[in-house]
Structure 1
Amino acid sequence: MDSNSHLESHQGGCHCGRIRYKFEAPKSVTAFKCNCSMCSKRGNISFSVPKHNFSLLSGESYITTYSFGTHTAKHTFCNVCGITSFNISRSNPHAVSINVNCVDPGTLTHVEILSFDGRNWERTHYLRTKMKEAQLRGDKDNSSNESSDQGYEVGSDVSNSLPQSH
């Protein structure tokens, strides 16, 4: 998420509607499709917002949390319909990851999807961190050399395939 972008109010929730939340984010976001053992099985595509930009509106008693491995990630889901509409990711535990497919239609206008190599999480996280450090230093040559090996690649614009009301 670009911190310089204008923030808009968005809402989302699970399939049965018991869990509802609101968050502040730009209208255009970059989401990640991860291939780790958890995300690949649930088909999760998510983007992160700072925790202070997220508010649970309803359904706290319906949230179940599953964690494994380092227990840093908190995989939350509705204990009625089973949908993971948001979670706390291992790569950014100080933010809330929003499942792009659970955002109410009409407020997100563009979603860029990048693939993230979560099966090789440590290596991918290390390369992404090094690339961000190089970008902050203004070392464009170093960041472009690593870009083909950074653990993610550009996907497609899915702004026309965002979830619609049924």
Structure 2
Amino acid sequence: MDRDITEIDGACHCGAVRFRVRLSEGLHSARRCTCSYCSMRGAVAVTANVGGIEIIEGEDALNLYQFNTGTAKHYFCSKCGIYTHHQRRSNPNEYGVNVACLEGISPFDFEEVPVNDGVNHPSDGGKANGLAGVLRFIRNA
């Protein structure tokens, strides 16, 4: 896995939504989050700047979900339900992109993934860039 990759294609599970993304930090920015939504979603996300995602196909199939402050914008395919990306609450100039949607990448390719403390969100007075812990995947021999 090339962690320094800068551009990569992606798609939802059914292929209705296809996109190309320019990653601002490659795969080095892989993170999870403990906020109520991310805890249930369970995705590993990497960072792209706003304007760094080009929807190639299926923009009309994307649905938007917002909650709480309404700042974060979570996009998912209306056909298969897969979360593709979201505009971040912590930095609305960034997107988090679901690594499982990226061509040839799996969340299980990462041995360790830092987990941000989304319960104590910086926008709510929590510690900025606070880590809640690390998620590890240990492959069976």
Matched residue of 2:37: which SS?
A: helix
Structure 2 distance, partners of 1:153, 1:43, is: 14
**Largest Rg, 1 or 2:** 1
Gaps of 5+ in 1: 130-149, 161-166
Q: Counterpart in 2 of 1:141?
A: none
Q: Does the Cα contact within 8 Å between 1:124 and 1:151 map onto a contact in 2? A: no
Alpha-carbon separation, structure 1, partners of 2:90 and 2:49: 13
1:127 corresponding residue in structure 2: 127
Alignment of 1:109-120 (within 5 A): 111=110, 113-120=113-120
1:122 and 1:27, CA in 2 relative to 1: closer, same or farther beyond 3 A? closer
> 1:74 touches 1:88 (CA, 8 Å); kept in 2?
yes
Count of residue correspondences:
134
What is the TM-score of this pair, normalised by structure 1?
0.68
Correspondence for 2:15 among 17, 20, 23: 17
Match of 2:79 in 1: 80
Contact persistence 1:49–1:95 (CA under 8 A)? yes
Give me the TM-score of the superposition, normalised by structure 2. 0.78
Identical residues among aligned pairs (%)? 30
Could you tell me how far apart the structure 2 residues matched to 1:97 and 1:6 are?
Answer: 17
Quote the residue 1:144 is aligned against: none
Q: Say which structure is richer in strand.
A: 2
Contact 1:118–1:124 at 8 Å: present in 2 too? no
Which digits, 9 at most, give the CA deviation of each residue in 1:41-94, with x for residues without a partner?
111211211123221111110011011111000111111100001111211211
| Shift of residue 9, structure 1, vs aligned partner | 1.8
CA RMSD, 1 decimal? 2.8
> 2-side partners of 1:103 and 1:76: how far apart?
15
